C-alpha cells in the first residue's frame, strides 16, 4: 500500500476547524448554517416510522436532533477521541443527562470532593430528589475511593482539572478503580478541553463538558455535551439494566445490544434528552462551533498568560499561596507533567492575606479583570468563590472544595500578560 492509500491522521488544529462539517449540499455555504427549525419533513410514513423506532438515523424534532447541533456533536466527539456525543443546553444539563441512563432510585455516585460549587449543590441536593445518593471523597486517597464504592454505586465522577483550585486528578488510577468495580469513570473535562487533556486516553468511559467555557470560549453562549468512549462493557457487571434490558418505550429495544459501542449515546439522546428536554439551541451550537475553530490557538495563549500571572503572584507580598499546577512548588506538578504537558489550564486560585475582606476588596478594585461568575472567556475573569459560586455550601464544604474565605479564583484570558499583572498589582495595593 502506498502512502497515498493510507488514511491520513489529521492534526488537532485541522479537526477543530473541519470535523463533522462539510459545505452545505444545497447552497454551498462553507460555514455550518444555523438550522433554525423545530421540525423536519419526513419522506413518507415508513420513513417517519423508522426514525421514531430508531431503525434509521435522521432529524425528527429539534428537542432531540438538529443539523447544526449534530455538527457540534461530531466535532467534540472527534476531538475527544470518543465514539459519539450528545449536546445539550448547559454543563449542568450534561451532568444530569450523563448520569440518567446509569441510575435508578436508591443508586449511588462516588464523586470527587473537588468539584465546581454548583456541581456539589446539584449532586448533594437536586440529585437526592431523584433518589440518587452521592458520597464525596478525596480522589488522591485511593483507599477512601474504594471504600466508598458499594453494590449500588453506578459511577465514579471526577473533574480532570478541578474548579476552582486547578487540582489535577489521576484519571488513570481512577479509571482502574472504577473498572475493578465494574462501573464507568465519568470525567468533567471542562477546564482542560481536549487540547490539553483527553481522558479517554487514560481509561475514562464518559466525558462531559460545559461548552459554555473554554470550548465556546467567548462568553456568549451556553451549552453542554456528553461523549462516550464506546469501550465500556455494559453487560459485564449486570449493574445497568437501562442499557441492557428491554426498553418499554421503544418496543423492547436493548440499547447496548442494538447499538453496540454507541449504545450509551443513543440512550442519552433517545431517552434522557427526549424526556428531560434540555435541548441546545442551534444558534448557541453555531457560536460554540465557531469558538472551537480557534480552540488550540486560544488555549496556548490562555496557558502562557496563566503561567506568567501565577509566577508573579507567588512572589507577591499580599498573596499567601498560589494553587497552580504549572508552578514547581505545586503538589500536582508531577501529575501535570503526565496529563498536561501543554500546560495545566488557565483557571487557578490564590489566597489573599487578610482573608475574606481582602478577597472582596480585590475583586472590587480590578479594572481589566471582570468580576463575574464564568470561566473560559477570552477576557480575564475574577471571583471570590466563598461569597458567590460556593456561597450555598457550609464553611466546611467551602474549605474542602478549595473555596475558603481567603480564596480568589482567576480565569486568565487572552490580554497582554503584563497588563493583567499590573491590574492585579494595583488592586492588591502594589501598583
Spatial CB neighbours of 425, under 8 Å, sequence gap ≥ 6 = 316, 431
Angstrom CA distances, 109 to 84, 113, 241, stand at: 23, 12, 16
Angstrom CA distances, 302 to 43, 191, 413, stand at: 48, 11, 6
pLDDT tens for residues 170-199? 999 999 999 999 999 999 999 999 999 999
Q: By the 8 A CB rule, do 369 and 420 touch? A: yes
Q: How confident is the model at residue 397 (pLDDT cuts 50, 70, 90)?
A: confident
Angstrom CA distances, 242 to 152, 160, 424, stand at: 14, 27, 51
Instruction: Compute the half-sphere exposure of residue 201: CA atoms within 13 Å on the CB side of its CA.
Output: 14
**Average pLDDT of span 270-280:** 96
Instruction: Give the Cα separation of 385 and 396 in Å (integer).
Output: 14
Instruction: Give the Cα separation of 407 and 427 in Å (integer).
Output: 15
In the predicted structure, residue 269 carries a pLDDT above the cut 80: yes
Instruction: Give the Cα separation of 127 and 96 in Å (integer).
Output: 8
In degrees, rounded to 5, the angle at the alpha carbon of residue 341 between the alpha carbons of residues 335 and 345 is 80
Q: How confident is the model at residue 1 (pLDDT cuts 50, 70, 90)?
A: very low
- CATH number of the domain located at residue range(s) 295-427 in this protein: 3.90.1150.10
pLDDT of residue 431: 47
Q: By the 8 A CB rule, do 83 and 230 touch? A: yes
What SS3 class is residue 141? coil
**Average pLDDT of span 32-40:** 95
For residue 133, list its beta bridge partners.
108
**Average pLDDT of span 296-309:** 98
Q: Which residue is listed with cell 493583567?
A: 420
- CATH number of the domain located at residue range(s) 10-291 in this protein: 3.40.640.10
pLDDT of residue 6: 75
Provide the H-helix boundaries in 53-211: 67-80, 91-99, 117-121, 142-148, 171-180, 193-196
Q: How confident is the model at residue 393 (pLDDT cuts 50, 70, 90)?
A: confident
pLDDT of residue 4: 59
In the predicted structure, residue 284 carries a pLDDT above the cut 80: yes
In the predicted structure, residue 349 carries a pLDDT above the cut 80: yes
pLDDT of residue 388: 80
Q: By the 8 A CB rule, do 184 and 174 touch? A: no
Q: By the 8 A CB rule, do 368 and 380 touch? A: yes
pLDDT of residue 385: 83
pLDDT tens for residues 214-238? 999 999 999 999 999 999 999 999 9
pLDDT of residue 363: 94
* 227 or 429, greater pLDDT: 227
Task: Output the average pLDDT for the chain.
Answer: 94
* 402 or 377, greater pLDDT: 377
Domain boundaries, the chain: 10-291, 295-427
In the predicted structure, residue 78 carries a pLDDT above the cut 80: yes
Q: How confident is the model at residue 318 (pLDDT cuts 50, 70, 90)?
A: very high
Q: Is 30 exposed, middle or buried (0-12, 13-18, 19+ CB in 10 A)?
A: exposed
Read off the C-alpha cell for 103.
441510575
Instruction: Compute the half-sphere exposure of residue 396: CA atoms within 13 Å on the CB side of its CA.
Output: 0
Radius of gyration, alpha carbons of the chain: 22
pLDDT of residue 3: 57
What DSSP string describes 10-74?
--HHHHHHHTT----TTT--SSPP----SB---SSHHHHHHHHTTSS-S--BTTT--HHHHHHHH
Instruction: Give the Cα separation of 356 and 388 in Å (integer).
Output: 12
Read off the C-alpha cell for 195.
487540547
pLDDT of residue 37: 95
In the predicted structure, residue 398 carries a pLDDT above the cut 90: no
**In the chain, pLDDT over 70 holds for what percent of residues?**
98
Backbone angles phi, psi at 119, to 5 degrees: -70, -40
Which run of H or E residues covers position 272?
A: none
pLDDT tens for residues 18-27? 999 999 988 9
Instruction: Give the Cα separation of 237 and 254 in Å (integer).
Output: 16
- Give, rounded to a whole angstrom, the gap between the first and last alpha carbons of the chain: 64
pLDDT tens for residues 119-136? 998 999 999 999 999 999
pLDDT of residue 28: 92
Q: Which residue is listed with cell 480532570?
A: 160
**Average pLDDT of span 383-412:** 82
Closest C-alpha among 116, 160, 155 to residue 135: 155
Neighbours of 367 (CB within 10 A): 10
Spatial CB neighbours of 46, under 8 Å, sequence gap ≥ 6 = none
Fold: same for 10-291 and 295-427 = no
In the predicted structure, residue 430 carries a pLDDT above the cut 70: no
Amino acid at each position: 500500500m502506498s502512502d497515498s492509500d493510507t488514511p491520513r491522521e489529521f492534526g488537532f488544529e485541522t479537526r477543530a476547524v473541519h470535523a463533522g462539517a462539510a459545505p452545505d449540499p444545497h447552497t454551498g455555504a462553507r460555514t455550518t448554517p444555523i438550522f433554525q427549525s423545530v421540525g423536519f419533513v419526513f419522506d413518507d410514513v415508513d420513513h417517519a416510522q423508522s426514525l421514531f423506532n430508531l431503525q434509521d438515523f435522521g432529524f425528527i424534532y429539534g428537542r432531540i436532533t438538529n443539523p447544526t447541533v449534530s455538527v457540534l456533536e461530531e466535532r467534540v466527539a472527534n476531538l475527544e477521541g470518543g465514539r459519539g456525543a450528545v449536546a445539550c443546553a448547559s454543563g449542568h444539563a450534561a451532568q444530569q443527562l450523563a448520569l440518567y441512563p446509569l441510575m435508578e432510585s436508591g443508586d449511588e455516585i462516588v464523586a470527587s470532593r473537588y468539584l465546581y460549587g454548583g456541581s456539589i449543590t446539584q449532586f448533594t441536593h437536586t440529585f437526592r430528589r431523584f433518589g440518587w445518593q452521592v458520597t464525596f471523597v478525596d480522589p488522591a486517597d485511593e483507599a477512601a475511593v474504594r471504600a466508598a464504592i458499594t453494590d449500588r454505586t453506578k459511577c465514579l465522577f471526577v473533574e480532570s482539572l478541578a474548579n476552582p483550585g486547578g487540582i489535577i486528578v489521576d484519571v488513570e488510577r481512577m479509571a482502574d478503580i472504577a473498572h475493578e468495580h465494574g462501573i464507568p469513570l465519568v470525567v468533567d473535562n471542562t477546564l482542560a478541553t481536549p487540547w490539553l487533556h483527553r481522558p479517554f486516553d487514560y481509561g475514562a468511559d464518559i466525558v462531559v463538558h460545559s461548552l459554555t467555557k473554554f470550548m465556546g470560549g467567548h462568553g456568549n453562549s451556553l451549552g453542554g455535551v456528553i461523549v462516550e468512549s464506546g469501550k465500556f462493557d455494559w453487560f459485564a457487571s449486570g449493574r445497568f439494566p437501562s442499557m441492557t434490558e428491554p426498553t418499554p418505550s421503544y418496543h423492547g429495544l436493548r440499547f447496548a445490544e442494538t447499538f453496540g459501542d454507541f449504545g450509551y449515546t443513543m440512550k442519552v439522546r433517545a431517552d434522557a434528552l427526549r424526556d428531560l428536554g434540555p435541548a441546545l439551541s442551534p444558534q448557541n451550537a453555531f457560536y460554540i462551533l465557531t469558538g472551537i475553530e480557534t480552540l488550540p490557538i486560544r488555549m496556548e495563549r490562555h496557558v502562557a498568560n496563566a503561567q506568567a500571572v501565577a509566577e508573579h503572584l507567588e512572589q507577591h507580598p499580599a498573596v499567601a499561596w498560589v494553587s497552580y499546577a504549572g508552578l514547581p512548588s505545586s503538589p500536582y506538578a508531577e501529575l501535570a507533567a503526565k496529563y498536561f504537558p501543554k500546560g495545566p489550564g488557565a483557571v487557578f486560585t490564590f489566597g489573599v492575606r487578610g482573608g475574606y475582606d481582602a478577597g472582596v476588596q480585590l475583586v472590587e478594585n480590578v479594572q481589566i479583570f471582570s468580576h463575574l461568575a464564568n470561566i473560559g472567556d477570552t477576557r480575564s475573569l475574577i471571583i471570590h468563590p466563598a461569597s458567590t459560586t460556593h456561597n450555598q455550601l457550609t464553611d466546611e464544604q467551602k474549605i474542602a472544595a478549595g473555596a475558603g474565605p481567603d480564596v480568589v479564583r482567576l480565569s486568565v484570558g487572552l490580554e497582554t500578560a503584563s497588563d493583567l499583572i499590573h491590574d492585579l498589582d494595583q488592586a492588591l495595593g502594589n501598583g
